[in-house]
Amino acid sequence: MKQQILHRYKEILQDKIDVFRDMISGLTEDAQNDAKGSAGDKHETALSMMQLEQEKLNHKLKEILTQKNIINKIDANAKHAKIALGSLVQTNGMSLFISAALPKITVDNKTIIAVSPQSPLGSKLIGNGVGFEFEINGSKYLIETIQ
């Protein structure tokens, strides 16, 4: 199951990377085409706006590439006695994947929540084992298995 989860997250991240790269190259082309045929204040404003948008997209792309690097470090075959990066944690109410903060996915009819080790929940879980109890928003959870 961990291999399916990793595969899905890698696909999601690669799709996002492709979209952002396409958007950035589109803006670069627009700026080059605009530079050929325009002059004046309107032209300068348009170029500045495109440049700002390109900087935002580059920043988002960098975040996604960082997430992909984290995901790529995870060994799907590794077994964990204690929760660490790459652990798939089953509680009495949810499935958590310790990786990067990514969207929820569904694999084999199970909802998987990706949690960063640096997040408040992730930092609470790291290093703990089966039987550890924790609370989120007034609900208590018990770690049942770790893969």
Tell whether the model's pLDDT for residue 27 goes beyond 80.
Answer: yes
More confident residue, 47 or 70: 70
Query: How open is the CA angle 73-103-74, to the nearest 5 degrees?
Result: 10
pLDDT band at 26 (very low <50, low <70, confident <90, very high): confident
Across 120-135, average pLDDT? 94
- With pLDDT > 70 as the criterion, what percentage of the chain qualifies? 92
Q: What's the confidence (pLDDT) of residue 97?
A: 97
Q: What is the pLDDT of residues 42-55, one digit of tens each?
A: 667 777 888 898 99
Residue 134 CB contacts under 8 Å (≥ 6 apart), including other chains: 121, 124, 125, 140, 141, 143
> Rounded mean pLDDT of the chain?
90
Counts for the chain of helices (H) and strands (E), in that order: 3, 6
Tell me how far apart the alpha carbons of residues 130 and 122 are, in angstroms, rounded to a whole number.
Answer: 15
In this predicted structure, the answer to whether residue 137 has a pLDDT above a threshold of 90 is no
Residue 30 has a pLDDT of 73
